[in-house]
Amino acid sequence: MRKIRTLAAAGVAAATLTLGLAAATPASAASICSTWNDDATYGVSCSQYDNYSYVRALAVCTNGQTVYGAWVRVGSGATSYAYCSSVGSSFSGVGGRQGA
């Protein structure tokens, strides 16, 4: 019985170490992005974005709706724009990005 408990404890320790390494990897990835906005639009362009290949802008509009830009390839120099005007609103000043 003691041998089983020792093996189980060793398995838990190994799993904890593995999970710790997996959790640390995304945090060490770099993000280099620039943003742009006017009264109705929010844009984002990234030369690096964690480990993602694509990024898109998201904007919260003054009417409470969230709109999304087109997916653009990270590092391509292209900018993704999210248009609040597409839902008859203006940009609230809260924008972000989403990766894939």
59 closest CA partner among 37, 76, 27, 77: 37
Any bridge partners for residue 60, and if so which? 66, 94
| Local confidence pLDDT in tens for the 100 residues of the chain | 444 444 444 444 444 333 333 333 344 568 899 999 999 999 999 999 999 999 999 999 999 999 999 999 999 999 999 999 999 999 999 999 999 9
For the chain, domain boundaries: 30-99
Helix (H, G, I), strand (E, B) or coil at 16: helix
pTM above 0.85, yes or no: no
